[in-house]
């Protein structure tokens, strides 16, 4: 006879949508037991997808072993393997998917394909306790305002061109801003912006519920070439870009009447963006929360936790349906685990 103690259940999650290869382990009750990431740093310029994918395959075994050690679990104690199935860069996604399929087959446990954007939202909710928030998800590849309605996260507004993080990163590269290894360029822009004193005139483009950031990026780079101080341009770029996303978030908040606002994705680390959103949330009597920094940028824990949620609600991904989805919008994903009040 056993002791009657139910077996604990754990999900291992693999994140490899872009420059980071991450492995997380989540218990089915929401405890995060491990969250290990190894980032690919390009020699120069932006991410080269095939080089990033090569990095991921080179570090996969090391990151996996570290995650098992951190979680103090043996591979056979894992009940489920989740992987980021999209959206993201094809070669990077395929590397993570291959590792996930191999583990699932070897261990004889189910596989779950997770939408990366849903992962950013779910880890934000788990870490902050938000139940049914209006979420601004702002990262290097995505900028959208979403909220749950009728079975899915619906998009209320989004960028029409480049993402907020990408806008900051490209500006920083064009301006020759150097960051320390391991610190994001967006964070370097934030530091410079804090020393800005003058608001340089730059475009502000909100169309309906969507925003456009590419003209702002071009104008910011041009202002620098015309002799404006770097600190002032960083400050003005942030003020304009963040005001645009805050305006859209506020209008979505007024429309949906949600009582919580959640900021998630890599750009969530930015204190100025946090303070702008905190103000509009307060004006609408909504509780504002921000995903903690270590779960803001891409990480395996968010994939592990979202995989556990999906599995506990009866969803798995048969291997023949585990092909990666480079453009997989958040509003195409059923999220049957979401329960609103």
**Contact footprint for ligand ATP (CB under 6 A):** 17-18, 88, 116, 120, 139-142, 165-166, 168-169, 184-187, 190, 265-267, 269-270, 297-298
By C-beta, is 173 or 259 nearer to ligand ATP? 173
Least Å distance, CB 296 to Fe ion, is 9
Least Å distance, CB 120 to Fe ion, is 6
Q: Does position 169 bind Fe ion by CB under 5 A? A: no
Matching residue, tokens 């049957």: 336
Task: Say which entry of ligand ATP, Fe ion, none residue 267 contacts (CB below 5 to 8 A, set by partner kind).
Answer: ligand ATP
Q: Does position 37 bind Fe ion by CB under 5 A? A: no
Residue count at the site for Fe ion (CB under 5 A)?
Answer: 2
Q: How far is CA 322 from CA 194, 207, 325, in A?
A: 45, 36, 9
Q: How far is residue 210's CA from residue 212's CA, in Å, rounded to a whole number?
A: 7
Least Å distance, CB 336 to ligand ATP, is 23
Q: Does position 122 bind Fe ion by CB under 5 A? A: no
By C-beta, is 47 or 73 nearer to ligand ATP? 47
Least Å distance, CB 142 to ligand ATP, is 4
- The two beta strands, 134-138 and 260-264, are parallel
Residue 108, phi-psi category: left (phi > 0), alpha (psi -120 to 50), beta (remainder): left
Tokens of 114: 């997770």
**23 within 8 A of 67, measured Cβ to Cβ:** yes
By C-beta, is 22 or 133 nearer to ligand ATP? 22
Q: Which helix (H) or strand (E) holds 213?
A: none
By C-beta, is 173 or 251 nearer to ligand ATP? 173
By C-beta, is 18 or 338 nearer to Fe ion? 18
Q: How far is residue 10's CA from residue 102's CA, in Å, rounded to a whole number?
A: 18
Residue 317, phi-psi category: left (phi > 0), alpha (psi -120 to 50), beta (remainder): beta
13 CB-near residues (< 8 Å, 6+ apart): 22, 23, 24, 25, 26, 81, 82, 83, 84, 114, 119, 300, 301, 302, 303, 304, 305, 306, 307
Three-class DSSP category at 318: coil
Q: Does position 298 bind Fe ion by CB under 5 A? A: yes
Q: How far is residue 317's CA from residue 310's CA, in Å, rounded to a whole number?
A: 10
Task: Say which entry of Fe ion, ligand ATP, none residue 190 contacts (CB below 5 to 8 A, set by partner kind).
Answer: ligand ATP
Task: Say which entry of ligand ATP, Fe ion, none residue 15 contacts (CB below 5 to 8 A, set by partner kind).
Answer: none
By C-beta, is 98 or 297 nearer to ligand ATP? 297
- The two beta strands, 10-15 and 20-27, are antiparallel
Q: Does position 19 bind Fe ion by CB under 5 A? A: no
Task: Say which entry of Fe ion, ligand ATP, none residue 239 contacts (CB below 5 to 8 A, set by partner kind).
Answer: none
**212 φ/ψ angles, rounded to the nearest 5 degrees:** -125, 130
Least Å distance, CB 166 to ligand ATP, is 6
Q: How far is residue 80's CA from residue 103's CA, in Å, rounded to a whole number?
A: 9
The one segment of 88-96, 131-139, 144-152, 280-288 that binds Fe ion by CB under 5 A: 131-139
Q: Does position 139 bind Fe ion by CB under 5 A? A: yes
By C-beta, is 210 or 298 nearer to Fe ion? 298
Least Å distance, CB 6 to ligand ATP, is 35
**How many residues are there in the chain?**
341
Task: Say which entry of ligand ATP, Fe ion, none residue 270 contacts (CB below 5 to 8 A, set by partner kind).
Answer: ligand ATP
**137 within 8 A of 143, measured Cβ to Cβ:** yes
By C-beta, is 214 or 316 nearer to ligand ATP? 214
List interacting residues with Fe ion (CB under 5 A): 139, 298
């Amino acid at each position: 006879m056993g002791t009657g103690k139910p077996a604990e259940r754990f999900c291992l999650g693999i994140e490899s949508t872009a420059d980071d290869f991450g492995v997380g382990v989540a218990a089915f009750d929401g405890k995060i037991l491990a969250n290990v990431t190894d980032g690919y740093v390009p020699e120069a310029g932006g991410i080269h997808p095939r080089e990033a994918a090569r990095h991921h395959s080179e570090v996969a075994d090391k990151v996996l072993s570290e995650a098992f050690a951190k979680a103090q679990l043996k591979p056979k104690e894992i009940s489920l393997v989740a992987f980021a199935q999209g959206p993201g860069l094809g070669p990077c996604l395929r590397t993570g998917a291959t590792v996930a399929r191999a583990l699932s087959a070897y261990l004889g446990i189910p596989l779950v394909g997770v939408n990366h954007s849903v992962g950013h939202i779910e880890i934000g909710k788990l870490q902050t306790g938000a139940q049914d928030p209006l979420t601004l998800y702002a990262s290097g590849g995505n900028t959208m305002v979403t909220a749950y309605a009728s079975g899915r996260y619906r998009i209320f507004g989004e960028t029409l061109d480049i993402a907020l993080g990408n806008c900051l990163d490209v500006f920083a590269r064009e301006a020759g801003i150097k960051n320390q290894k391991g610190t994001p360029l967006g964070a370097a822009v934030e530091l410079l912006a804090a020393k800005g004193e003058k608001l340089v005139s730059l475009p502000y483009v909100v169309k309906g519920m969507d925003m456009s950031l590419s003209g702002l990026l071009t104008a910011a780079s041009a202002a620098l070439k015309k002799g404006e101080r770097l600190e002032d341009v960083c400050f003005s770029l942030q003020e304009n870009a963040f005001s645009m996303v805050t305006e859209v978030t506020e209008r979505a908040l007024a429309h949906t009447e949600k009582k919580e606002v959640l900021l998630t994705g890599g750009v969530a680390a930015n204190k100025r963006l946090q303070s702008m959103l905190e103000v509009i949330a307060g004006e609408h009597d909504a509780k504002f929360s921000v995903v903690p920094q270590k779960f803001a940028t891409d990480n395996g824990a968010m994939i592990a936790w979202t995989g556990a949620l999906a599995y506990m609600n009866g969803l798995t991904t048969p291997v023949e349906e585990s092909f990666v989805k480079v453009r997989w919008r958040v509003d195409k994903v059923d999220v049957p685990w979401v329960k609103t009040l």
